Chain A
Amino acid sequence: MQPTDQPRRSMIYRLLLENGAEFETCQDSAVAMRYPGNAAEAEQSQSMGIADLSPLPRIGFKGKDTPLWLKQQGVQLPETPNRARKQSDNCLLLRLSDDEHVLLGDLTLRSTLVATLHQSWHFQPGQMCYLVPRADTHSWFCLSGKHTSDMLAKVCGVDLRLHKFGNGEIAQTSIARINGIVVRNDLGQIPAFYLLADSASADYLWPCLMDAMDEFSGSPIGLATLQSLIARAA
């Protein structure tokens, strides 16, 4: 299938096609599943890989009543801001501040929590819990492999070395001079970072990251490769 078969399209689908991506349907979008021309995809996910997860579900909520509302929906919240917490169905909840949260869907696409929350949320007068369209404000990339910290040190001024920036930690910072959210979320034993950044800058950021990972022989990898890392860990 082609990404243009679907109405919702990653901002960088053209770049992914140039890289030889093979797409599969993901709700009303298409996600780069694999790169058939790249025999080393599996190894690269463990040394230096980048995947575009922008088509995957995610949602945000904001406002002072947000923590309460999320708890009522059965969502497990991290104790403090700038921490992430894995949910029972492998969704990841990011706490960005006292009252702002983002829920990222799981990479196996089995979880329905994002859709459930979307459906249960209604604009209610006086209830300060507001939906934030995080699926559109931000593109979502996954950087994986042992060189990721070194690569990120070329674009980001925060110390993201593995022994300083633990699994589940969040840094909201500047990446290649655009605002972004970095989340450490290892895939089993493989160090991995989610990167959420301005969707309108995706066409700019993807090549920046590709350039930065060149010295580590990094390359794009598909969602299927990440899924197999998760499966192996489980």
Chain B
Amino acid sequence: MKIIHCPLNGPRNISEFAYGGEVEAMPDPVSCSGDEWAEYIFMSDNPAGLVREWWLHVATAYWFIAERNTVTDEIIKTYPPSELYKQRIEFAKDID
């Protein structure tokens, strides 16, 4: 069983975690085109190589980011999401 290093709880069996999908930037939900939105909603890059993924330590409901090599299944590093999301996000008012 694989070990994942949780930034809050340290090394734990992967059975303590849940996978949350790739980290993806949301396009502006008001101004982006339908195609851009569909790309964001339905498409995944699924590269062979380094990916950034959301993982959840279930017992503490703690989300973090893991950088993983999908070819070797090696987890390169893990860190809190605050290293990626540094600022408050606001959404533009709807135009209609």
Contacts and interface: CB of A to CB of B under 8 A. Distances in A.
Interface of A: 81-82, 96-97, 157-158, 171-174, 179-180
Contacts of B12: 157-158, 173
A194 B63 CA distance: 26
Given A173-B16, A174-B16, A97 B58 contact: no
B9 A157 contact: no
Q: Which of A96, A157, A172 has the most CB of B within 10 A?
A: A172
A180 B59 contact: yes
A174 B58 contact: yes
Given A157-B12, A173-B59, A174-B58, 11 more contacts: A81-B8, A96-B60, A97-B8, A97-B62, A158-B12, A172-B9, A172-B57, A172-B59, A179-B58, A179-B59, A180-B59
B15 interface: yes
A157 B60 CA distance: 15
A170 to B, nearest CB: 9
- Secondary structure at the B interface, as helix, strand, loop or mixed, is mixed
Contacts of A158: 12
Contacts of A173: 9, 12, 16, 59
Interface of B: 8-10, 12-13, 15-16, 57-60, 62
B11 to A, nearest CB: 9
Nearest to B9: A172
A50 B13 CA distance: 26
Contact of B13 (A97, A157, A172): A157
Given A97-B60, A97-B62, A82 B16 contact: no
B15 A82 contact: no
Contacts of A96: 60
A62 B46 CA distance: 37
Contact of B15 (A157, A171, A179): A157
Given A157-B13, A157-B16, A174-B15, A82 B8 contact: yes
Nearest to A158: B12
A175 to B, nearest CB: 9
A94 B1 CA distance: 29
B60 A172 contact: yes
